[in-house]
Amino acid sequence: MGKNLFNKVWDLHKVASLSETRDQLFIALHLVHEVTSPQAFQALRERGLKIKYPERVVSTVDHIVPTQDQLIRPYRDDLAEQMLQAIEQNTKDFGLRFFGLDSDSQGIVHIIGPENGFTQPGITIACGDSHTSTHGAFGAIAFGIGTSQVRDVLATQTLAFERLKVRKIDLTGTRPRGIYAKDLIIKIIAELGVRGGLGYAYEFAGPVIHALSMEERMTVCNMAIEGGARAGYVNPDQITFDYLEGRPFSPKGAKFAEAVAHWKSMASDPDADYDDVYTLDVTSMSPMVTWGITPGQAIAVDQTMPVIAELDEADVEITEKAYEHMGFEEGGKIEGKKIDVAFIGSCTNGRISDFRAAAEVVKGRKVASHVTALAVPGSRKVKQQAEAEGLDKIFTEAGFQWRQAGCSMCLAMNPDKLTGRQLSASSSNRNFIGRQGTPKGRTLLMSPAMVAAAAVEGAVADVRNFI
Amino acid sequence: MSANPAAITTIQGRAIPLPGNDIDTDRIIPARYLRSVTFEGLGTEVFKDERFNDDGSKTDHPFNDAKYEGAAILIAGRNFGCGSSREHAPQAIMRFGIKAIIGESFAEIFAGNCTSIGIPLCTTDEATIAGLHKLVQSDPQVEFTIDLEAKTVSYRDKTISIDMNPAARTALLAGTWNTLDELLQNEAAIEEVHRRLPSFV
Ligand code: SF4
């Protein structure tokens, strides 16, 4: 039996066994942002510890920064200003690479890692953020950690961790028109459940996955965590290597060829062993949209919402809670539900290909008059590229606000928030109660093209009628 | 067992019931309370959005209920702590006064975060959890003892067995849940991996 990528990476990075089930794992790349790091730096100071390998740490600011007037300091929000000052000071005191507000490379941590070439195949990556799974798109083993672990990685470049099981998720068939990477991962979560991945890393495989661009693979891996899987990855292939060639921090010249040979050797062997295999044929899929309060409460846009009496016992309570919060009627249609806000952005769908796909829908059309629509690039580089292609004009002419890079309305830590009971069509990754800024706010997750269609229609719409 | 002062072998106290499954960390501590450079003060913000109505009045959330005041053990449901990796969630629960959580299951990142700040997580089946919720709701004064060594919870004259993640249990019993000291020890092995990894950057 051959080995899968997960176990190859694990074995290469294993430092020691700590107990029967726990290993000390070396973290090749540590990504740091302003929200989950200040207490970790403080802990280092208190113990007089240094950063073990500063060259393996990359930091930026994304969660709290406003997406309007981002450079006007101090921020009106004192607490945000304090956090920003903390990371500026910490990265300076500890000598870390920092893509702050004065850098052209600032942006959401999971977007700038890949676009600068830090994220590479066959390495371990950790970050104090659950969507670190994004980086798995490159064939890295990447997972989110808490602040105590951020401290551990800063001080030792290692973590105490249990080896995960690996489930191979084989996507077969052909991807229909109007079905984007986001639809694929929402469908997987709806099928396997939000707890289905507990204890697992997901290996996304099969012809449908390997036909995806790197940006699309990032969208899929980004939401592995929403299916309960701590990490998700795709084996590196030529598309991966082509993406990495020429990035600012990827290997150059002869070193690149050497790197590619190593990266290829890290991919799962053809006869690799898995703890579980799941196969899904995507040929007859329709665009997906969540209707409830977990990412697994999702249906095809042309389907109706569940009837509680027909559900498994285990799903009844959360479904009742979802209906109560969303105010939707059992068995009703999701298509046609009037929305108040449209949000395109986040580490799930804030990359250039996402804005291209949404612009294709928006072009020559107008956002419905009752809808507030935000297009928020995930990084400054994405913003620049979009502007070079004239996408910003397409969005603003249609009535979208074109913003500066940051997490924005994905979570309520900056000025971009829902108000009251607003219903938002969002390209982000979480529809939890309160996630987008008000306890009563409601979120429908969907692909950026579907968000664009909803913005134009003023209600949930089937993007296939717009492209 | 070692005489490590950080060792956690038993947790004793009254309990607070929190029925409901898939309670995510955004609900445990809403993101706006993460705008802080310390964890201090988080105990008063725990479940904030569920504990107060729009007009600022208190809801009937168990964390508002005087009869559970001073509880040391939280009895949760299934997949507790899913969602965001924020350590602020277990920090807020701990600072509210909770020292251990019993539930049907826990989300992984949340579980790791709990262990790394010394909160034992115990699991048992759905029916037992439902029974514990009822018991505490009808008699909040019941005293519980969680014994990590024996993997049991006892109350009144009953003892039930519980499951724990073996690695977490070992670390708590040995007092090595605060992983940093353990990790710092293997300096030479760390350096060896650092050197053996291909460095293409
Ligand atoms: S965009 Fe959303 S999910 Fe991604 S890092 Fe920012 S807050 Fe987290």
Tell me whether strands A200-205 and A288-290 are parallel, antiparallel or unpaired: unpaired
- Whether the Cβ atoms of residue A443 and residue A411 lie closer than 8 Å to each other: no
B27 touches chain A (CB under 8 A): yes
Q: pLDDT above 90 covers what percent of chain A?
A: 97
CA distances from A95 to A54, A61, A92 (A): 7, 16, 5
Residues A198 and A143 occupy one common structural domain: no
The topology (CATH level 3) of B10-175 is Aconitase; domain 4 (3.20.19)
pLDDT at B200: 55
Distance from CA of A398 to the nearest CA of B (A): 31
Give every CB contact of residue A1 below 8 A, 6+ residues apart in sequence.
Answer: A271, A272, A273
Domain containing A401: what range?
A: 288-465
| Complex ipTM | 0.92
A379 in the same domain as A306: yes
Smallest Cβ distance to B108: which of A117, A148, A230?
Answer: A230
Ligand 1 geometric centre to CA of A348 (Å): 8
Which of the listed residues A161, A194, A210 is the one where a domain comes to its end? Answer: A161
Q: Select from A234, A255, A281 the last residue of a domain.
A: A281
Are both A198 and A184 inside the same structural domain?
yes
Counting one residue from A and one from B, how many pairs have CB atoms under 8 Å apart? 201
Sheet of B10-13: strand order equals: B10-13, B144-147, B152-155, B158-161
Query: Do residues A145 and A275 share a domain?
Result: no
Chain A environment of B200 (Cβ under 8 Å):
120, 250-251, 255-256, 258-259, 262
Q: How many domains does chain A have?
A: 3
Judgement on whether residues A191 and A230 belong to the same structural domain of the protein: yes
Query: How does pLDDT run across A55-102, given as a tens digit for each residue?
Result: 999 999 999 999 999 999 999 999 999 999 999 999 999 999 999 999
For strands B152-155 and B144-147, give the pairing. antiparallel
From chain A, pick out residues whose CB is under 8 angstroms from the CB of B182.
Answer: 18, 24, 160
The CATH number of residue A236's host domain is 3.40.1060.10
Contact A36 B201 (CB under 8 A): no
Does A451 lie in the same domain as A408? yes
CA dihedral A356, A362, A367, A372 (to 10 degrees): -10
Distance CA A294, CA A344 (A): 19
Residue A311 and residue A399 in one domain: yes
**DSSP secondary structure string, A135-149?**
GGGGT-EEEE--HHH
Tell me: do A210 and A276 sit in the same domain: yes
Q: Which of A281, A306, A336 represents a domain boundary (last residue)?
A: A281
pLDDT at B201: 53
- For position B1, what pLDDT does the model report? 43
Q: Which of B34, B39, B193 sits opposite A35 (nearest CB)?
A: B34
Return the pLDDT at B83: 87
Name the nearest CA neighbour of A119 among A12, A265, A268, A248: A248
Per-residue model confidence as pLDDT tens digits over B108-121: 889 999 999 999 99
Q: What is the CATH number of the domain that holds A155?
A: 3.30.499.10
Q: What is the pLDDT of residue B199?
A: 74
CB distance from B193 to chain A under 8 Å?
Answer: yes
d(CA A455, CA A113): 30
pLDDT at B161 exceeding the cut of 90: yes
Find where tokens 């942006």 sit.
A107
Ligand 1: list residues with CB < 6 Å: A 62-63, 108, 110, 129, 131, 346-347, 407, 410-411, 428-429
How far is residue B137's CA from residue B141's CA, in Å, rounded to a whole number?
Answer: 10
pTM (2 d.p.): 0.94
| Ranges of chain A with pLDDT below 70 | none
A248 and A304 in a single domain? The answer is no
Give me the helix-helix angle, A147-156 and A38-47, nearest 10°.
Answer: 50
Span from the CA of A222 to the centroid of ligand 1 (angstroms): 10
Question: For a pLDDT cut of 90, what percent of chain B falls above it?
Answer: 84
With CA atoms as reference, report the closest residue to A160 among A14, A47, A48, A4: A14
